[in-house]
Amino acid sequence: MEGERAAEIALNRELWALVNERYTGPAAEGLWSRPDLMWGLYDVPERRLGVLGEVDGLDVLELACGTAYCSAWLTRSGARVVASDLSAEQLRTARDLQRRTGPTFPLVQADAEQLPLATGSFDLVVSEHGAAAWCDPERWLAEAARVLRPGGRLVFLTNSVLSALCVPDDEGIATNSLQRGQRAAYHVRWPGGGAEFHPSHGDWIRLLRRFGFSIEALHELYAPPDAPDHPFYEIVSTAWASQWPAEELWVAWRGPAVTRGG
């Protein structure tokens, strides 16, 4: 399994180099210039959800940061940020934006499943559409718990369970019918490249509790009826996402370790 997972990680790294060339690189400057943090495919404002709270003065780690636009906003809001990502190409884009527009903060090339960061270093761990879908939850949640201080918070966005169940086997936009069983969605290897993880709600709760988290909230994100389809990511259409949640935003805090279950 270790060899298989290493091959998947290498494949995902190649895929994100291509995505950076085609979309995330060209889109980065616009995302960095936003005055507000937006969540997900349909730009739900943080000021509406309020999941991060006051970040001024906090030590924050962003996992799977991509081009690090979320970290830029957090830094401008007064947080001390470290941004990490597997993709050298996306981090190169982030460094270019730091030079051209600022702000600056540490960028670390790292797999969220094996972080080269000290235990108990952060008050908040954030992942905006990164670690939750692309990393093994048993590994990245363990690492998030390790680097958080007691009472620290974890906020992560991922595809909704329902969207993962409705995307066809050959990829493309989610349909109005189930395309796979819920157990099969836990670990999906797409024919077009890339391996993803889409645990059920029960799996997320079990794993978060295993690693000592207490769940504060789960926000289901829908598309506004008048929103355009996303210009690049073909996961859901606006018509689909206005009926069913396209994404899920989890909020948890690092409490006493939970020993039962798992």
3-class state of residue 249 by DSSP: strand
Per-residue pLDDT of the chain (262 residues; tens, 9 = 90+): 578 888 898 888 888 788 888 888 899 999 999 999 999 999 999 999 999 999 999 999 999 999 999 999 999 999 999 999 999 999 999 999 999 999 999 999 999 999 999 999 999 999 998 899 999 999 999 999 999 999 999 999 999 999 999 999 887 899 999 999 999 999 999 887 689 999 999 999 999 999 999 999 999 999 998 899 898 888 899 999 999 999 999 999 998 543 434 4
Of 72, 196, 52, the residue nearest 125 (C-alpha) = 52
Q: Output the pTM of the full model.
A: 0.93
Give per-residue burial for 205-229: e unless 16+ CB within 10 Å, then b: bebbbbbbbeeeeebebbbeeeeeb
The end-to-end CA distance of the chain, in Å, is 20
Q: Residue 74 is encoded by which pair of tokens?
A: 């957090």
DSSP 180: S
Of 135, 94, 166, the residue nearest 8 (C-alpha): 135
